[in-house]
Every structure is written in structure tokens, then in C-alpha cells.
Chain A
Amino acid sequence: MTCSEWTMELVECARQQTTPDRELRVHLSICAHCSERWDREQQLTAHFRAMRMQAALQSRNSQRESLMRDFARIHRRKAVPSWVWALGAAAALLLAVFLGHEAGKRNSKAVSPAVRVHGEPVLYEASLDASALSSDDFIAVPYTPPLAPGEMVRVVHADLYPEALASMGVEVDPAWAGDLPADVVVGEDGLPRAVRIAENAQF
């Protein structure tokens, strides 16, 4: 065996802190180079042991708790599975549709909560239809049944809330906060058919 091959063996002996076998011992006794190397390898092993002890002695700040808190925070957020979010969104959508429908029904009944009526209504015969009403500065209220021939209509003077006018399709300045005086054509069934903003109304 060459010195380099013996060296491989003596390094392993030094690492494992075992006694070299007889053949290696014989070589170490006759080879000064390998013998020196053997001494240094043993010293190296001792220094490594010291380094291990040094590492073990060091006090350190455990960051375990902060990691566990971070983990809990991340997984609390993730804990709700995506299908729950989907279900929640669907429920919110249904609720919005229902509320919209209810609000629509309230608006179609109309004007009642949003209208304050002044004085006695003036009665007219509805020889005119909705388009005729529109021509006389009246704005036809959409989605209401047409007037029957001969149906009597009343024109009432009322203060309308801007929201009520907006729901009838009248353009209203959103900044407007007060009531608007208007003439409302009401059919025999009590439903408004047309609206006319009074001339003295100020937007």
C-alpha cells in the first residue's frame, strides 16, 4: 500500500477514534510522514469535538413561539375552504336580488310613501293616453298599465322626494336634498301615470 492509501485509512481511524490495525501501526512506526499526519488527524478530531461543545454551550433565543404564531395566523386565514366562500357569495347575491325585488315592489307602489299631497285633486277624463300626457310636459311613469278609454284620472299637486322622481326616470341632480313640487296624474286604480315638475320648482 502507498502512503496515500494508508492516509485514507488513518483519517477514518482518527474520525471514528478507533485504534489503527496492526498493519497500519507497523506503517506508522516506519513512516514519519504518515505518523505526523496521524497525530494531526487525531488533533483535528479533538478540535472538532471542542467546536461541537462550543456550539452546544451557546445560549440562543428560541423563535419557536413566533413561528407557531405565524403558522396559526396563516392557517386561520386559510381555514375557510373556498367552497364556503363560494356559498357565501351565492347567498349574498340571492339576498341582494331579493332586496332589490322588494325595493322595486315598494317603488312601483309608488309614490305613496315618497309623495306628500296638497289640496284637493283635480279630476280629468282620461281621453288622453300616456303619450298625450307626455306631450304636455308630463313624463310618463314607466312600467304602469295604460289608461283605459274613459277612465277618470286625477291630477294631484304633491311634493316628491327626488328618489321617487329618479325612480320614475326623471333626471334629478343628486346633490338636491329637498322635495320637489310636482303634478302627478293618478289613475282610478291609484297608480301614478305621469309626473310634471311644477314650474316654480328649483333644482
Chain B
Amino acid sequence: MQPSDEELYRLMRKGNQDAFAQLYERREPALYRFALHMSGSQAVAEEVSHEVFVQLMGPATRFDETRGSLESFLYGIARNLIRVVRRLGPVLEPVDRPIYHDILGELIGNETTAALHRTLREMPERYRDVIVLCDLEERSYEDVARLIGRPVGTVRSRLHRARALLSAKLKRLNAPSEVVTR
């Protein structure tokens, strides 16, 4: 049976490097993707996902198991770091940079996808959070509720509101091509 995040954390605090490595391998990829979608920058995502673990092993970290899971604690650190980065100014290296050298690249390089990604980045954080976690990370409502510390109903209503905003954006993006085809 796999040890829980919290068990690994306790071992890690005692200096067990294997526990730290296991925790890193288990949680870092999703944290990286979360930071990537939230910030739109690969450089920021790398920095944030690294810094989360630097903070976790630092002496100042006071994770309290009674107040929530380690995973939501890690997402909390990541969210704060992204807020700081966004406050500093526009992020470079947009994630929606087109890649044209293969079929998949053409799909990904789709201008509509890029425009939606830009819209997503400009959304209020409460909507961006749920879109990234529910739709891009494909987490359940219950998981997301636990990660962001909100009731399931709130997560669901925020997601629907966020999708409505993106749907409206999509409608505007689709409109010119519809005019041309008529």
C-alpha cells in the first residue's frame, strides 16, 4: 500500500530523502501543469513547481494535517506564488505559442485554442482555478472542493459560470467565420 502524502511528509521532515523524492514525483507534474495553465508561462510554471518544494522542505513550513491535506497545502503555495508572479507583470513565453511542425501541433496551434487560453488567463482567479482543476486537470468536483477549500456546490457553480464566459468568447470567435460562410 502506498504511503499517504502526509506520511511521506512526516518522514521527509525527519530527513528521509526517499520520502521527499516520492512526494516530488507524485505531486510535481500536476503542480507544474496547474502553474502552466494558470500563468501561461513555461518558465513561471517551472519556477513555481520548484519553489513549492523548496518551501516545503524549508524550516519555515508549518503544514498542519488537522487543517487539510498536504496536496491542498501544496496547491495553496503554488497559487500564492502565481499571484506574486502575476502581480509583478505580464508573463513571457505564452503557453499558446503555436507549434506547426506536425498534425497535433496544428491542432494545438489552433488560433481559437490560443484565444481561449488567453481568455482563461484573464479570468478572475476563482473561475480560472476551477477551469484548470476540473477541466484541464480533469479532477472531480470533490477533489477540487478539497483543494481550494470551498464547498462542492460552489465549485460546480463557479465552473458553470466560467464555462459560460468561455462559451460566450467562443461564440464571438466563431462569429466572423460564420459570416464568411453565409
Which residues of A are in contact with B by a Cβ distance under 8 Å?
A: 7-8, 11, 15, 36-37, 40-41, 43-45, 47-48, 50-55, 57-58, 60-61, 63-64, 66-68, 70-72, 74-75, 78-79
22 contacts between A and B (CB under 8 A): A11-B159, A11-B163, A37-B167, A43-B170, A44-B166, A44-B167, A44-B170, A47-B110, A48-B135, A51-B116, A54-B96, A55-B95, A57-B99, A57-B108, A58-B42, A63-B49, A67-B50, A68-B21, A70-B54, A71-B17, A71-B20, A79-B15
Assess the A68–B20 pair: CB atoms within 8 A.
yes
Which residues of B are in contact with A by a Cβ distance under 8 Å?
A: 15, 17, 20-21, 24-25, 28, 32-33, 36-37, 42, 45-46, 49-50, 53-54, 57, 95-96, 99, 104, 107-108, 110, 112-113, 116-117, 134-136, 138, 159-160, 163, 166-167, 170-171, 174
> By CB atoms of chain A within 10 A, which of B33, B107, B163 has the most?
B163
CB of A67 to closest CB in B, whole Å: 5
CB of B169 to closest CB in A, whole Å: 9
Assess the A55–B17 pair: CB atoms within 8 A.
no
Assess the A53–B170 pair: CB atoms within 8 A.
no
The interface residues of chain A lying within 8 Å CB-to-CB of B99 are 54, 57
